[in-house]
Amino acid sequence: MKKLSLLKKTFLLFSLAAAMALPAYAADTIKVGILHSLSGTMAISETSLRDVLLFTFDEINKAGGIKVGDKSYMIEPVIVDGASNWPLFAEKAKQLLEEDKVAVVFGCWTSVSRKSVLPVFEKDNGMLFYPVQYEGEELSKNIFYTAEAVNQQATPAVDYMLAQGKKKFYLIGTDYVYPQTTNLILYKYLLLHGIKIEDIGGGFRKDDSGKVISAGKYTPFGHTDYQQIVAEIKQFAASGDACVLNTINGDSNVPFFKEIAAAGLTAGDCPVVSFSLAEDELRSLPTKDLVGELGCWKYFMSINTSENKAFLKDWNSWLKTESYPGVVKEKRAMDSPMVLSYNGVHLWKNAVEKAGTFDVDKVREVLESGSISFAGPGGMTTMQKNHHTINNVYIGETRANGQFKIVKDFKDVAGEPFILKSLDDKLAAK
């Protein structure tokens, strides 16, 4: 009996030692997916979204994690590369949901990648937070859009240019669903505001009945030769009252703006308003030649508030100490898609803690209640029942240092995904 008692004590001691050797939170972690292009033409933009997500996860873990019931859960990131390959995005989404069993995914940049993964999230009842400006005309119960809707970026930018006296608008973009749909909305919006069809540049495509179904000039992903298009823009802008509405995505913005500069076109001659170009992408451009060009976003790095200054200080401190592979530490910038990724994580965290569970259906119910907000670096953001947010919107002019000078702001703009039908109705009644 004494021998058996000794064996029991020995076993208990070994068990206790093993338990003490494990991290305190080892049993209480939650897997969270990151789905972005870390290679290919979209890596210029999406790699930074991975970085800011890792920063956000570390910030939350450092503060004690996500509190559900009487437990605190540390976020365990699961990172996959969509590689600027839209079918691959769907495969990677399936991997995250079915194999890795993540609680939520933060990811996608292009609308074609989002539409590629949407059926996967709906089939598996997953949850995706999407952080990048998009065309609207979509509402999935499995996607929350922290991104700028058209009425939080494109139409406020047009309103601003109209107020500046612009009477001609040239539409250009990358050939996929976001630019195509956004420019069709802008074409109708411009007509509604008195702009003549001959003063909308870039060309049109009509159906058999003569109805315009596509407006603007389009180039493929990765396009590099913009000489002829810029020559056309220069001729279009010769009257002195024109501007360009730019929905080019990815690294094609680099040769486009280099050609703009080479042609001698300045913001004074014909300002370019870009909807997929922010501080992060400006690091790759000759910003001294782009002074005065415009952007419209929910966030600019130059916002002069104590909250934004503290956020940027924490971000820069994290860059100095983090050890994740592939994160560039030098000459970093912060921009709207990055901040909207950051906001999305905190909105999800707040909803999980209020729901008291990671269950997708229950977290969705809380997010749809209108009660979940987060005071982010660009101001307060609130999730609406329609899965879009209420945010401040800012218009800024590019400066030589790659930052934006804020020239206009719109307070508490509620994202509205469906615009096309209301424009059609207004035009029909006009």
Average pLDDT for the chain: 93
The secondary structure of the chain in percent helix, strand, coil, rounded to multiples of 5, reads 45, 20, 35
Q: Give residue 228's domain range.
A: 151-302+394-429
Residue 59 lies in a domain: yes
Three-state DSSP at 34 gives: strand
Asked if residue 276 and residue 344 are part of one domain, the reply reads no
Share of the chain above pLDDT 70, in %: 94
Asked if residue 224 and residue 127 are part of one domain, the reply reads no
Asked if residue 293 and residue 161 are part of one domain, the reply reads yes
Asked if residue 271 and residue 195 are part of one domain, the reply reads yes
Residue 340 lies in a domain: yes
Residue 291 lies in a domain: yes
Asked if residue 126 and residue 157 are part of one domain, the reply reads no
**What residues contact residue 418 under an 8 Å CB cut-off, 6+ apart?**
136, 137, 139
The pLDDT assigned to 122 comes to 98
Identify the band that residue 14 occupies on the pLDDT scale cut at 50, 70 and 90. very low
Asked if residue 298 and residue 176 are part of one domain, the reply reads yes
Tell me which of 129-133, 222-226, 286-290, 349-353 is least confident: 286-290
**What's the rounded Cα separation, in Å, for the pair 339 and 377?**
7
Residue 24 lies in a domain: no
Asked if residue 224 and residue 164 are part of one domain, the reply reads yes
pLDDT per residue over 227-254, tens digit each?
999 999 999 999 999 999 999 998 899 9
Residue 206 lies in a domain: yes
- What mean pLDDT do residues 292-301 have? 98
The pLDDT assigned to 11 comes to 41
- What mean pLDDT do residues 96-123 have? 98
Three-state DSSP at 38 gives: coil
Asked if residue 77 and residue 181 are part of one domain, the reply reads no
The pLDDT assigned to 289 comes to 85
- What mean pLDDT do residues 398-421 have? 97
- What mean pLDDT do residues 334-350 have? 98
**What's the rounded Cα separation, in Å, for the pair 172 and 114?**
21
CATH number for the domain including 346? Answer: 3.40.50.2300
pLDDT per residue over 356-397, tens digit each?
999 999 999 999 999 999 999 999 999 999 999 999 999 999
pLDDT of residue 9 exceeding 70: no
pTM: 0.90
Asked if residue 337 and residue 287 are part of one domain, the reply reads no
Residue 11 lies in a domain: no
Bridge-based pairing of strands 29-36 and 373-376 is unpaired
- What mean pLDDT do residues 185-203 have? 98
- What mean pLDDT do residues 139-151 have? 97
Asked if residue 405 and residue 258 are part of one domain, the reply reads yes
Asked if residue 295 and residue 156 are part of one domain, the reply reads yes
Tell me how many domains the chain contains.
2
Asked if residue 186 and residue 106 are part of one domain, the reply reads no
pLDDT of residue 23 exceeding 50: no
**What's the rounded Cα separation, in Å, for the pair 51 and 65?**
18
